[in-house]
Amino acid sequence: MSNFKKGFTLVELMIIISIFGILMSMSIPSFEGMLKRQKASGEANNLVSLIYLARSEAIKTNQVVTICRSADGLECGNDWKDGWMMFVDNNRNGTKEAAERIIRSGHAGNGYQVSFRAFGSNRYLRFTPLGITLSQNGTFKLCPADNDSRYARAVIISKTARARLAKDSDGDGIYEAANGSPLSCDS
């Protein structure tokens, strides 16, 4: 009969804990980056869904549907960073009137801020009953609270109301705008 006991010595346990700690310290930063990239992509996809909902509502109701910047979700406001509102624009003026129905309102989540640059008006984006924009093309840009351009995303909209996500074409970790320039969150 053998008197050998099975188990680990204290030294062996300390070595295993040290190796585990080193491996964790190397993997946590990449995991954090992955989470930030997923949040950025999620916010961009939410914006694409909003755009396609507005287009769909315009076709379904046979009315112009407008997405405008709005802080309170009740009337159009001054800054896309405050939020947005989507409504049926019966008189096609880009301004929410009392009789016009609000379809949806909200703002970007996860600390992201939205800006919009467009041909025509930066105040709103309008869709016709045909499902196209009212001669507008533009870009919604999403920037994280820390303005780190690596986690900026953009939704590019054509006049035909096709919304597409910006891509990182050159593989440098920063997505490009419609003109090919890197997205920047500085401005």
* Three-class DSSP labels, 111-161: CCEEEEEECCCCCEEEECCCCCECCCCEEEEEECCCCCHHHCEEEEECCCC
Q: What is the pTM of this model?
A: 0.81
Task: State which residues form the domain around 50.
Answer: 11-165
Give the SS3 label for residue 62: coil
Please indicate, yes or no, if residue 6 is contained in any of the structural domains. no
CATH code at position 102: 3.55.40.10
d(CA 185, CA 174): 11
Higher pLDDT, 122 or 80: 80
Please indicate, yes or no, if residue 186 is contained in any of the structural domains. no
Give me the pLDDT at residue 1, please: 56
Give me the pLDDT at residue 39, please: 92
Domain count, the chain: 1
Is residue 142 within 8 A of residue 123, CB to CB? The reply is no
pLDDT in tens, 89-126: 999 888 899 999 999 999 888 789 999 988 776 789 99
Please indicate, yes or no, if residue 173 is contained in any of the structural domains. no
